[in-house]
Amino acid sequence: MSSLPLPPATDFIREAINEDLSSGRYTRVHTRFPPEPNGYLHIGHAKAICLNYGLAQAYGGKFNLRYDDTNPSKEGMEYVESIKEDVRWLGADWEDRELYASDYFVQLYAWAELLITKGLAYVCDLSADEVRAHRGTLTEPGQESPYRNRSVEENLDLFRRMRAGEFPDGSRTLRAKIDMAHPNLNLRDPVMYRILRASHHRTGDTWCIYATYDYAHGQSDSIEGITHSICTLEFEDHRPLYEWFIQAIGIYAPRQIEFARLNLTYTVMSKRKLLQLVQQGDVRGWDDPRMPTISGLRRRGFTPSAIRDFCARIGVAKRDSVVDVALLEHCLREELNRTAPRAMAVLRPVKLVLENLPEGHVETFEVQINPEEPAAGTRAVPFSRELFIERDDVREVPPPKYWRLFPGNEVRLRGAYLVRCTGVVKHPATGEIAEVRATIDPDSRGGNAPDGRKVKSTIHWVSAAHAVEAEVRLYEHLFTCPDPDQAPVGGSWHDNLNPASIEVLTGCKLEPSLAAAQLGDRYQFERLGYFCVDPDTAPGRLVFNRSVGLRDSWAKIERAQQ
């Protein structure tokens, strides 16, 4: 490997890796993504996945998927499966290395006995609360446990009996014997094992003691031969502890490098909070299109490539920051603008009758599927005497600067004809517009004025007789403010939930080419945004989600910055 040219050091992590390869500290690159299966993955995890997998690819190395499954009471198979699906969908390939910390339980236990024999670990009878109380603070040293100086024999005997199930849950722990006055609190005799009678999703009831994350994580990396253990900043203070364990046991040492976690505006990212939203029914599930989860983004219509593009653009840094969710949406919009077929859909329909066309009149327009990609060809769009148009595109009395349909005004029906409004018919009871009447200019076929006269607005339409019906779901941010953790006085982050984050429209009218839309299909509905087929779609029932609107607030931010 060292004879190959190194990839450019575009960030501090690659700089460090290049340094390690040049110095010969490592001769290969092996990374991992280590999720705890206690929730669904979110966009922050996508950043970690793209980073770790990207490094393995750039250096011709390997990438492991490793579940850090040391906490059975919060973990489960549903999460294991969803994580696998999401990592695969993002395009990261762990080959045959689907690994589990729980596969190392026997080895971790043996190393714990080794540390006891070396006089570096002891069984402590303090309760969890007492351990915490003895820990001291950043400014005061901790207090040594009265059980700290038990003999090796007594410790071994008690630890084996802990494993054998002789003691109740929480009554004893195994602790590393380091230094209760250490300036880094993580090294004040941290707990390595606790007694916990919980069924594990993989090891069942084999164990009633479980390693802590801190004891398991570094050794798991070591067992797998990970060279660069990339993790988020909150583990910086744990690094000395991981190194202490590795050294005390005397095994291969990976290098840990920390980077700043991703935060996004208008959302929460902690799994605990996302779980609460799911459990309380604030959203429809982990894959609700409003969720920042990978499965939610997938259902919302995001593509793996748009998410990878986003992760590449935000890069990695050493300092925590908040990324504007508009950038994430921008990445999708930019891709779909290039790739998504165009279609016409009317979300809030009102009927438009073209008075100077005969009853039963039908003609067909050939419309480009995607003007950004002429090779995509054209589609046939039927046109007839009765159309649906958006309710918002018609007014009986126009407000200032309103150039769409109102009696006397002329607009262009996208790709079809110029039409002039002759009047509106209103519901006698509600006063709502029930029907719009207009006449076409027969010489404007294709939407071009024969005399070159100016028409200010172009509106979309769907032939009434040919329309397919659909349900369309529109989304807004899940929270009303950019930083939902900024709780209102006397309240919590939860109070910042946006009560109007979803709007479900039924009876929408779509052009007939959309009848064949399949799960995974994405479209630009003219003038409305990008939409995708929702998995609730079934025979006789079409459901679409709006992925993003057309207005690109990120492009505006970028322009303002320049």
Residue 86 or 329: which CB sits closer to ligand ATP? Answer: 86
Spatial CB neighbours of 171, under 8 Å, sequence gap ≥ 6: 125, 127, 195
For the CB of residue 502, give the shortest distance to ligand ATP in the complex, in Å.
23
- Per this entry, what is the length of the chain? 562
Distance, in Å, from the CA atom of 44 to the CA atom of 293, rounded to the nearest integer, reads 9
For the CB of residue 74, give the shortest distance to ligand ATP in the complex, in Å.
10
User: In 135-212, which ranges are continuous DSSP H helix?
Assistant: 152-164
Tokens representing residue 33 in the block = 């993504």
For the CB of residue 339, give the shortest distance to ligand ATP in the complex, in Å.
27
Closest CA to 437 of 407, 402, 481: 407
95 is catalytic: no
For the CB of residue 208, give the shortest distance to ligand ATP in the complex, in Å.
24
261 is catalytic: yes
Residue 34 or 484: which CB sits closer to ligand ATP? Answer: 34
For the CB of residue 48, give the shortest distance to ligand ATP in the complex, in Å.
4
Residue 218 or 415: which CB sits closer to ligand ATP? Answer: 218
Spatial CB neighbours of 207, under 8 Å, sequence gap ≥ 6: 105, 163, 200
Residue 232 or 537: which CB sits closer to ligand ATP? Answer: 232
Interface residues with ligand ATP (CB under 6 A)? 34-36, 44-45, 47-48, 231-232, 261-262, 269-272
Tokens representing residue 405 in the block = 């349909």
For the CB of residue 9, give the shortest distance to ligand ATP in the complex, in Å.
21
Helix (H) / strand (E) element for 295: namely: helix 294-300
Catalytic pick from 135, 255, 261, 437? Answer: 261
Q: Fill in the amino acid letter for 555.
A: A
Catalytic pick from 36, 75, 410, 511? Answer: 36
Residue 148 or 261: which CB sits closer to ligand ATP? Answer: 261
CA distances from 419 to 343, 382, 397, 416, 426 (A): 21, 17, 18, 9, 20
Catalytic pick from 271, 308, 509, 522? Answer: 271
Report the largest interatomic distance among the alpha carbons of the chain, rounded to a whole angstrom.
102
Distance, in Å, from the CA atom of 121 to the CA atom of 75, rounded to the nearest integer, reads 27
Tell me if 288 sits within 8 A of 38, measured CB to CB. no
For the CB of residue 346, give the shortest distance to ligand ATP in the complex, in Å.
39
C-alpha dihedral (416, 422, 427, 431), degrees to nearest 10: 110
CA distances from 291 to 84, 165, 550 (A): 18, 41, 20
Q: Which residue is nearest to ligand ATP (CB)?
A: 44
Distance, in Å, from the CA atom of 532 to the CA atom of 412, rounded to the nearest integer, reads 27
Strands 262-264 and 321-323: parallel
Residue 298 or 412: which CB sits closer to ligand ATP? Answer: 298
Residue 320 or 363: which CB sits closer to ligand ATP? Answer: 320
Residue 33 or 193: which CB sits closer to ligand ATP? Answer: 33
C-alpha dihedral (262, 267, 273, 279), degrees to nearest 10: -140
Tell me if 511 sits within 8 A of 493, measured CB to CB. no
Distance, in Å, from the CA atom of 249 to the CA atom of 525, rounded to the nearest integer, reads 61
Helix/strand/coil (H, E, C) string of 395-407?
CCCCCCCCCCECC
For the CB of residue 340, give the shortest distance to ligand ATP in the complex, in Å.
29
Spatial CB neighbours of 175, under 8 Å, sequence gap ≥ 6: 121, 122, 123, 124, 131, 145, 189, 190, 191, 192
For the CB of residue 231, give the shortest distance to ligand ATP in the complex, in Å.
5
Spatial CB neighbours of 56, under 8 Å, sequence gap ≥ 6: 29, 30, 31, 62, 63
Spatial CB neighbours of 231, under 8 Å, sequence gap ≥ 6: 34, 256, 257, 258, 259
Strands 468-475 and 543-548: parallel
For the CB of residue 274, give the shortest distance to ligand ATP in the complex, in Å.
7
271 is catalytic: yes
Distance, in Å, from the CA atom of 16 to the CA atom of 22, rounded to the nearest integer, reads 10
Question: Mind telling me the catalytic residues?
Answer: 36, 261, 271
